[in-house]
Amino acid sequence: MKRVQNHAPALTSDEQKWIDQNAAEQAQRHERIVADMEDMSEQRDSWIDAFLERIQIRGFNYNCDLLRKIKKEELPKKPKRRFKVVF
């Protein structure tokens, strides 16, 4: 029995051009997004610092209305590598 997903039809030259064009456009969009995310790195770092401070002072909601303050030694250490934004 032939399995359909194992046999793709051959692409015409127009279809391949369209795929290549769209892939190039997508790569350009991705580069712009990455550049924008890198431009925001200082602001993002301040958001992270504010969050870590807030969970030490106010606490972290772990069940319904129960808050638990996070001790400084429980906080994650900042990695030495570049911050990676997943989108």
Task: Note the pLDDT of residue 7.
Answer: 75
Question: 10-19: per-residue pLDDT in tens?
Answer: 899 999 999 9
pTM over 0.85: no
Mean residue pLDDT of the chain comes to 89
Written as six digits, the tokens of 30 are 């991705």
Task: Note the pLDDT of residue 12.
Answer: 94
Domain assignments of the chain as residue spans, ordered by start: 13-74
Pairwise CA distance, residues 61 & 53, whole Å: 14
Enumerate residues 6+ apart whose C-beta is below 8 A from 57. 69
Question: 22-50: per-residue pLDDT in tens?
Answer: 999 999 999 999 899 999 999 999 999 99
